[in-house]
Structure 1
Amino acid sequence: MQPNKEILALLHLIDDPDEEVFDVISQRIIDYGKPIIPNLEDLWENTPDSMAQERIEILIHKLYYGDLANDMREWGTAGHQDLLLGALLVSKFLYPDIASSATLRETEKIKRNIWLELNNYLTPLEQINVFTSILYSYYGLKGCEMSYANPNEFLIHKTLEAKKGNQVGNGILYLILCEMLDLPIRLVQIPRQFILAYFRPGYTVDNINDPQKMIEYYIDPAAGQIYTHNDVEAYFKSISVPPSPSHFRPLSNKEVIKVLLGEFSKCFTKDENMYKHNELLQLSALLD
């Protein structure tokens, strides 16, 4: 954006020590929208003051966040919530300039490799054995321990780049591929876990009186391990939580992204990052 007198004055005052003054300045800068970002980036490169640089970084983030919130709202109100698009929107929270084309190409390549090995004669368990073999052995996807100190492990494009993610990051990729392949695998609400379930044909997301009876088996997407009903019942006993039908209800894509946003927000609980934590929860609230 070509700087005018007001923009130059606002940029000059970014390092004002008075927080109230800075709040007024930052709002005026944000009112200019994304076209002012190159001016802020140029100022950041030419500012030795670390406090001023931090303020500039926050301003740039807020400018991108405004667009992201609009995109998330539109995604949530669309006729169909494409899971890959929703996951890419979450990635844009930290990486606003990422190009989605690389992620689309990579997921399409994995999907094609799996599709070539699937056929209508395979049982549900055989289907997932094929899926697991290609995704974790041939493609080389690895699982890692859940750590909120590593936000990249929650993001779809970083999971694909590193071929490694935590239970949530790998689970999102797993669900995206299942959606592309039309496999009836959904996220269910097992406490403290990101566990997927293979549903028998004929279920619907909104009309299952006893969803557990519609489940063939369960999958831990961190490394593709399969669990039986007995395994899941033993887990509920181990955490002293009585299972209920709500724990086995298949979640919609919108609900999956809400889970992702909630888990991702836990990466930003230190004082200097609490604004990111709150923004992610606000994005989640847009999907209510």
Structure 2
Amino acid sequence: MEQTKEITALLHLIDDPDAEVYSTVSEKIISLGKQIIPNLENLWENTPDEYTQERIEMLIHSLHYRDLQVDFNAWANDKEHDLFTGALLVSRYQYPDLNLSSHYQELEKIRRNVWLELNSFLTALEKVNVLNNIIFNYYKVKGVEINYNHPDEFLLHKLIESKKGNAISIGILLLSLSHLLDINLYMINIPRQFILAYFDDEPSDIDNDFPPQHIQFYMDGATGQIFSHKDVETYFKRINVAPSASYFKPLENKQVVARMLGEYARCFDNEKNNYKKQDLLSLASQLTDNHE
């Protein structure tokens, strides 16, 4: 943005010790939009004072976050609300300059490799095994346990780059590919797990009986391991929770991304990064509030 006298005056006041003055200045700077970011970055590079640098960093963060809120709102209100896009928006919280198009191209390459191995004669289990084989054997994706000290393992673009992720990032990649390939995998809401389920053609109403009639089998998001109804029943007994219909309904994409945001927020559960936790939880609420 061209540095006018007004902008120069605003930037000059960033280090003002008066909290009220700074609040007014920061609101005005943020109202100018992300076009002001290069000016702030230039100021940061030429500011020796660490406290002022921190203020500049928070202003840049606030500008990126406001932009991300707008993008999430547009995604949530889009008729498609494509899962892969929603997950990449989560990545943009920490990596605001992320190039989305290169990751769409990578997804298409993976999709094509799976598609070439599929045919109409395969059973549901055989289709999922093809998907798993491409992801875990051909691409050598490595699943790791969820660790809130490793936030990058939650992010889809980092999974694509490093071939390492947890049940959430890998599970969302598997779901994204499944949707493109007409494989009926959906995420379900089993407590404390990121589990996918293979549904019959109509994943509609589910009765309260166990096992649910519309689910053929289950799959672990991190490893692709297949589970039976008996395995899931054993898990519920182990955690001392009674299976109910709500745990076995397919989640919509907005619900999946909201769950991803909630889990990712737990990576910032300390005083220094609490603002990040609150930002991410606010984005999750934005999606659930939009959920119909």
Q: Structure 1 length as normaliser, TM-score?
A: 0.95
Query: Runs of at least 4 residues of structure 1 off by over 3 A?
Result: 17-20, 207-211
Partner of 1:251: 251
Give the Å deviation of 1:251: 0.2
Q: Partners in 2 of 1:48 and 1:124 — Cα distance?
A: 61
Q: Verify the 8 A CA contact 2:30 2:63 in the aligned structure 1.
A: yes
Q: Which amino acid aligns with 2:202?
A: G
Q: Verify the 8 A CA contact 2:195 2:221 in the aligned structure 1.
A: yes
Aligned residues, how many?
A: 286
Partner of 2:81: 81
Partner of 2:226: 226
Partner of 1:103: 103
Q: Which amino acid aligns with 2:151?
A: P
Residues 95-123 of structure 1: CA deviation (Å, up to 9, x unaligned) = 11111121111111111111110111111
Partner of 2:55: 55
Give the Å deviation of 1:20: 3.2
Q: Partners in 2 of 1:45 and 1:278 — Cα distance?
A: 28
SS of equivalent to 2:250: coil
Correspondence 1:1-288 to 2 at 5 A: 1-204=1-204, 207-210=205-208, 212-287=212-287, 288=289
Q: Partners in 1 of 2:64 and 2:191 — Cα distance?
A: 33
Give the Å deviation of 1:67: 1.4
Q: Verify the 8 A CA contact 2:186 2:199 in the aligned structure 1.
A: yes
Q: Verify the 8 A CA contact 2:206 2:248 in the aligned structure 1.
A: no
Q: Partners in 2 of 1:264 and 1:236 — Cα distance?
A: 25
Q: Which amino acid aligns with 2:207?
A: N
Q: Partners in 2 of 1:85 and 1:49 — Cα distance?
A: 39
Q: Which amino acid aligns with 1:251?
A: L
SS of equivalent to 2:273: helix
Give the Å deviation of 1:167: 0.9
Residues 33-81 of structure 1: CA deviation (Å, up to 9, x unaligned) = 1111000010111112222222111111111111111111111111121
Q: Which amino acid aligns with 1:153?
A: E
Q: Which amino acid aligns with 1:209?
A: D
Give the Å deviation of 1:22: 2.1
Structure 2 alignment gaps of length 5 or more? none
Q: Which amino acid aligns with 1:222?
A: A
Q: Partners in 2 of 1:141 and 1:76 — Cα distance?
A: 29
CA RMSD of aligned residues (A): 1.4
Distance 1:17 1:272, change over 3 A: farther
Structure 1 alignment gaps of length 5 or more? none
Residues 7-39 of structure 1: CA deviation (Å, up to 9, x unaligned) = 212212222333333222211110111111000
Give the Å deviation of 1:188: 0.4
Residues 124-158 of structure 1: CA deviation (Å, up to 9, x unaligned) = 11111111111100111101121112211111111
Q: Partners in 2 of 1:212 and 1:14 — Cα distance?
A: 59
Q: Partners in 2 of 1:20 and 1:147 — Cα distance?
A: 40
